[in-house]
Structure 1
Amino acid sequence: MLHEHRVLTTQQIVELAFPSTRAANHRLLELYRWRVIDRFQPFVTSGTAPMHYVLDVAGAIALAYEDGLVPKEIGYRHEDSIGIAHSLRLAHTVGVNGFFTALVNLSRQPDARGCLTAWWSELRCGRLFGDMVRPDAYGRWREDAQQIEFFLEFDFGTEQLNRLGRKLHDYEKLAAATGITTPVLLWLPTARREGTARRALAEALNLLGQQALVPLATSTADFPIVASANSPASARWLPLTVDRNQPTSRKRLIDLARVWDLDTPQEDAEASPPDRRQTKSDLAPPTPLPPLPSR
């Protein structure tokens, strides 16, 4: 997961694979000492930032040789791996990853109804169809015998809204080229930012030749819901459409498929997203959920 998604915090790693923070810290310390993973703690003006983990040399060697490759062939360089500590995109990358680790954590609960079945990074999406559009991530969520796949656009409130509007045209172009309609989910920091963004995006959507090819919904990090239900799968998504007859209430993630009348058959799920041009040196995307404990 570190190779695919570049950097994960302690809490995100707990959500991905461990029963407790204590168990995670014990294992992470061992992996750090063995140079399987590296770590850093970003500077913050108040409080203490969580520990951030990236792939280290021994971990890259293990991943590469499992596939009959060498670390250079999978594009690993330690200076690039640890260099994200000083990247201006660090907070954005951590934010995107937190969106998906929350879904993984929800999937791992004993009474879970849903399951995250795919999670592709920005880099992988860029390699596959970056000539048309570069989403922040791709995901696929299954719940109650239904599935929805989606592209994520993660906004920190710093991106220009007209740029987000222009990307709708790129998503329309991708859908037209592949024949596959994939919803776009826009995650925003505040309700105020969401209102401004929706007005700008509605104008951009109205300019598209085939609006139905770009199903769009928005949500915010500060959406007021019960803490126990505070996940991206909850009823927090507000569809955006120029059709006034469409529902305007907040929907659960899986219910968006019904709003847009989308159907992603489970038996065909491995064929999406479109145009899977995987090269010899491109490791397969990791399964979001951890393997079951061995007995």
Structure 2
Amino acid sequence: MNGSPNKGRDRRSGRPKGDPASGATRVNARSFRPRIDRSLEVYATRILTERDRNICHNLYEHHVLTTKQLWDLHFTFTNPRVARRRLLKLYEARILDRFRPHRDKWGSHPIHYIMDEIAIRIVAADRAIDPKRIRYRVQRDRDLAKSSRLNHLVETNGFFTTLVRACLTAGDHQLSEWWGEERCAAEWRGSLEAPLVRPDGQAVVGSPTGTCRFVLELDRGTERGDRLSHKLHQYQLIGGSDDSPDALIFLFPSLDREVNARRHLNVPTGMSVATSHPELFEGDPLGAIWLPVGAERRVPLIRLPGRNS
């Protein structure tokens, strides 16, 4: 077979070229997608690489990732155009699906990628999971396009993908064990099956000088101070145990919010508690940007273990 079986379709919408509606970009335009037949399955299998397979598993774990986030994870040392072309090819082969959320004001949101049918089959086979179960989950991922949860999820995923890129660029750091919110909640269930804590994510950063296993609370400036204190009391339930994280980090939306929120974080948890804000994090993710509770100087993430709060 020469090339994609969908060469006669518009690259954006999936409709046949020349169709009057081929420029449509609505996120719910499901009828625009090419039907999966034997030729498409063969084509998808032929072009699939190990990197593509890893992308499928990333989307299974973290639901939705933007073009920039996938570039950070899998195309770090290539031109962004390479990432865009490859992701488009995976979209055309129905390995991935995508949407662009509506924006009321000027400009546009980035393209957001989720799993499509071929990715569902790949992950189901690799993890020995019923494909029907994953299809149900993916339908909920599609619904994120119109959900208020989308922004928080994308910002959280962006934190970790930025950290991954920083580790790869540094060369002597590595990020591993990136868990999303659902995985964290499942790992720390109480006796009544309700999660003891529900952080936005967890990961381990390692370097030649040590490692730090941390959990993230990404604050969007909407929670009252007493709510922040309550969260720390919840973290007391896992702090100090053999499998507890080394650090609990809060990323606040601004320096002012960070300063005001820190007044409510003087609750012992059995782990280091530290804060920062996006201006510092985006400037130097691995640098001395985290301010432990009770301290006066910021330190790198890797130096947080042992600074118990």
TM-score range, shorter chain: 0.7 to 0.9
Cα separation, 2, equivalents of 1:99 and 1:193: 18
2:289 to 211, 236, 247: 236
Instruction: Find the partner of 2:72 among 6, 11, 15.
Output: 15
1:192-224 deviation line (CA, Å, top 9, x unaligned): 00011001222xx1xxxxx2503200000123x
| TM-fit CA distance, 1:124 | 0.6
Residue 99 (structure 2) aligns with? 40
Q: Give 1:111-190 correspondences, 5 Å limit.
A: 111-130=170-189, 131-175=195-239, 180=244, 182-190=246-254
**Does the CA contact (< 8 Å) of 2:246 and 2:306 recur in 1?**
no
Note the alpha carbon deviations across 1:144-202, whole angstroms, 9 max, x for none: 24000001000111223322210111111112565635310000110000011001222
Partner amino acid, structure 2, of 1:30: K
Among 251, 255, 263, which residue is 2:299 paired with? 251
Counterpart residue identity of residue 148, structure 1: C
Aligned equivalents of 1:180 and 1:105: distance in 2? Answer: 26
**Per the alignment, do residues 72 and 171 of structure 1 end up closer, same or farther by CA in structure 2, a change over 3 Å counting?**
same
- Residue type at the aligned position of 2:265: L
Match of 2:155 among 88, 95, 98: 95
CA contact (8 A) 2:271 2:308 kept: no
Deviations 1:50-106 (A, max 9, x none): 111111121011110123332134574432121111111111111111111011111
SS of match in other structure, 2:113 = strand
TM-score w.r.t. the length of structure 2 is 0.74
Helix, strand or coil at the partner of 1:153: strand
Judge conservation of contact 1:103–1:231 (CA < 8 Å) in 2: no
Measure the CA separation in 1 of the matches of 2:159 and 2:107: 22
Q: Give the Cα–Cα distance (whole angstroms) in 1 for the partners of residues 161 and 239 of structure 2.
A: 27
How does 1:56-75 map onto structure 2 within 5 Å? Answer: 56-74=116-134
Give me the identity figure in percent.
36
Q: Shift of residue 248 of structure 1?
A: 1.3
By relative contact order (CA 8 Å, sep 6+), the higher-ranking structure is: 1
Relative distance call for 1:164 and 1:197 in structure 2 (3 A) is same
Q: How many residues align?
A: 244
Larger Rg: 2
Secondary structure of the residue aligned to 2:238 is: helix
In structure 2, do the counterparts of structure 1 residues 179 and 49 end up closer, same or farther at CA, with 3 Å as the change threshold?
closer
The question of whether the paired residues in 2 share the 8 Å contact of 1:103 and 1:115 is answered with no
CA contact (8 A) 1:40 1:53 kept: yes
Q: Is the 8 A contact 1:102 1:231 kept in 2?
A: no
Instruction: Give the whole-Å Cα distance in 2 for the aligned partners of 1:4 and 1:181.
Output: 20
126 and 180 in structure 1: CA distance in 2 versus 1, 3 angstrom threshold: closer
Contact 2:271 2:307 in 1 (8 A): no
Whichever residue aligns with residue 101 of structure 2, its letter is P
Instruction: Note the alpha carbon deviations across 1:91-149, whole angstroms, 9 max, x for none.
Output: 1111111111011111222x422111221000111111142111110110001240000
CA RMSD between the two structures: 2.1
CA distance in 2, matches of 1:61, 1:179: 33
**Structure 2 counterpart SS, 1:194:** helix
What CA distance in whole angstroms lies between the structure 2 residues aligned with 1:252 and 1:129?
A: 26
Is the Cα contact below 8 Å between 1:60 and 1:76 reproduced in 2? no
Tell me the distance in 1 between the aligned counterparts of 2:114 and 2:263: 38
Separation in 2 of the partners of 1:171 and 1:188? 18
Tell me the distance in 1 between the aligned counterparts of 2:241 and 2:290.
Answer: 27
